[in-house]
Amino acid sequence: MKPETKVTTLGRDPEANFGVVNPPVYHASTILFPTLDAIEAATKTKYKNQMRYGRYGTPTTFALQDAIAELEGGYATFAVGSGAAAIVATLMAYTKSGDHVLCADTVYAPTRRYLDVVLKRYGVETTYFDPMIGAGISALIRPNTTLCMMEAPGSLTFEMMDVPAVVAACKAKGVATALDNTWGTPIYFRPLDLGVDVSVMAGTKYVGGHSDIMMGLITVRDETVYKTMRASVDELGACTGPDDQYLALRGLRTLAVRMPRHYETGLVLAKWLKEQPEVSSVLHPALPDFPGHALWKRDFKGASGLFSFVLKPVPRAALAAMVDDLELYGMGFSWGGFESLMVPSDVRSLRTAKPWTDPGQLMRVHAGLEAPDDLIADLEKGFQRLRKVAREKA
């Protein structure tokens, strides 16, 4: 089945639910067992989709998890309370005191913070690597390296990675691999197909798709990884609420329709921005002159609506004049909803392996589902305001 068909059918079982099209929302903490035998059996063995206690899932949770697992091409998925929780559960699953982690320099900032602050406190050391390192990662692997954490493309600056090359080097030395797949979603990228052990997604973004839920999704490649991950997820207690699970499933139904629209509109905006004299660069993996474009073309089936551009240095008042009065671009964190966004970001403090030295202001854009012409018209007016104030301040 093609992804479009999968997202409309997965996780549904009308026959088991009085013919109701969507899986019902089970609100539950306590699950009752009818006999001593049954309750003893439930505590002795742990298996997938086991009704045991609300935190470990209900039929609503299992419907969502099974649908995502199938889409990602994995053995199983765990739904947790946020994308950040999914990352933390993964980092915890593969580390103990004395271990070493390899991490792409361009990961989501809180991933870095967790490694630098929390895991460091527990005696886990991290080496950040240039995301374009490819097979060169082999030289950074130590005898105590247990995990390589990736993100493709990177947060804010969108550098691509040669995922198969990194995975091959890690596999050769017994290092587990995990990748944050929030940007591509399984519609456009399936890390497990390339040998990655754990694919992590912030379901908060495109799976939810409507800027109204928090959700993390962790998909594992096989039963061995499942056991490692399950121990981590269960002990962390980072479960999701049933209403968010339901909304994630509902968002999933239109994911394959929304993603191409985000992709198309994002490219329209990226190309328009590239033509503006105040813009020094546009960071979008689908642009042919973007470094890493060839890797994107080889491994991804499309692009999401998230990219960045860098402005040549302008007075702050000029930037404010542009963004404060944009009508269609909200300024706020997160992305992946139906609406367009634009946020200023400072990357300098977030890179160590490959320092970010561009003096201009980086702006991250999320292309929503509005008409591209309207989005361009709003941008055009924004750039006119920026120019006017920049001239006045010159």
Residues classed as catalytic: 55, 108, 180, 205
Of 82 and 157, which CB lies nearer to ligand PLP in the complex structure?
82
Among residues 84, 194, 207, 389, the one that binds ligand PLP under rule CB under 6 A: 84
Number of residues counted as binding ligand PLP (CB under 6 A):
12
Task: Establish if 265 lies at the interface with ligand PLP (CB under 6 A).
Answer: no
Tokens 């019902």 found at: 24
Task: Establish if 214 lies at the interface with ligand PLP (CB under 6 A).
Answer: yes
String of contacts with ligand PLP for each residue 133-172, x by CB under 6 A: ----------------------x-----------------
Q: Distance between terminal CA atoms of the chain?
A: 59
**Number of C-alpha atoms within 13 angstroms, CB side, residue 16?**
9
Q: Tokens in use for 85? A: 């929780």
- As measured in angstroms, the least distance from the Cβ of 83 to ligand PLP is 2
- As measured in angstroms, the least distance from the Cβ of 155 to ligand PLP is 5
Task: Establish if 340 lies at the interface with ligand PLP (CB under 6 A).
Answer: no
CA–CA separation, 296 and 303 (whole Å) = 9
Name the phi and psi angles at 282, rounded to 5: -120, 125
Instruction: With contacts defined by CB under 6 A, name the span among 49-57, 79-87, 268-276, 367-375 that binds ligand PLP.
Output: 79-87
Task: Establish if 61 lies at the interface with ligand PLP (CB under 6 A).
Answer: no
Task: Establish if 182 lies at the interface with ligand PLP (CB under 6 A).
Answer: yes
Of 334 and 345, which CB lies nearer to ligand PLP in the complex structure?
334
Task: Establish if 82 lies at the interface with ligand PLP (CB under 6 A).
Answer: yes
Instruction: With contacts defined by CB under 6 A, name the span among 1-9, 51-59, 80-88, 167-175 that binds ligand PLP.
Output: 80-88
Task: Establish if 180 lies at the interface with ligand PLP (CB under 6 A).
Answer: yes
Name the phi and psi angles at 220, rounded to 5: -115, 150
**Number of C-alpha atoms within 13 angstroms, CB side, residue 17?**
14
Judged by the rule CB under 6 A, the positions of this chain that interact with ligand PLP are: 82-84, 108, 155, 180, 182, 202, 204, 214, 216, 334
